[in-house]
Amino acid sequence: MTNTKTITLTVNGRTVTAAVEPRTHLADFLRERQLLTATHLGCEQGVCGACTILVDGEPVRSCIAFAVACDGRSVTTVEGLDEDLVAVQLREAFSEEHGLQCGFCTPGMLVSARDVVLRRPDADNDLIRLEMSGNLCRCTGYVGIVNAIRRVLDARKAAAE
């Protein structure tokens, strides 16, 4: 690596300092350098949503965010959501509702679904579909995914009453 920049960022709560080529996108940095392989790369052009992770708590496409541009930020991958309450509920619901088959899209689905649950607590199924339209699944036909998010939204609403 001839042309590198040193960056410091938080990855799943851990401070990481590394020299990166500016052209290294965040997903490659996480997979190849941090060995966090739950972040999947599908299209590498921001279309499929498989690589969606959290940067400063907000969903972001990690294939079109360069690692160097995330210097100083806090990055959370699906590995970092083990204890996250919404993610726990979503994982159970995805399993119950058959929200996955091959599992390639699932990490991105979980991150986007978590955003829907937190940002759109009153979503109906049409809005769930609209909000999830940036994540492609080639197995399920989406019905199980929508039902899983529905289940979590309903459970949280019932718990709040």
Phi, psi of 141 (to 5 degrees): 75, 10
Burial of 33 (0-12, 13-18, 19+ CB in 10 A): middle
Residue 59 binds to another protein (criterion: CB under 8 A):
yes
Nearer to another protein by Cβ, of 92 and 150: the residue is: 150
Write out the binding residues for another protein, residues 124-153 only, by CB under 8 A: 129-131, 133-135
Stretch that binds another protein, among 21-29, 32-40, 74-82, 141-149 (CB under 8 A): 21-29
Residue 46 binds to another protein (criterion: CB under 8 A):
yes
Q: Which residues pair with 5 in a beta bridge?
A: 20
Using CA atoms, how far residue 106 sits from 18, 34, 47, 81, 113, in Å, is 28, 20, 15, 13, 10
Q: How far apart are CA 16 and CA 80, in angstroms?
A: 14
- CB 33 → another protein: shortest distance, Å? 14
Point out which residues bind another protein (CB under 8 A): 2-3, 5, 21-23, 25, 28, 44-47, 49, 52, 55, 58-61, 63-66, 68-69, 71, 112, 115, 119, 129-131, 133-135
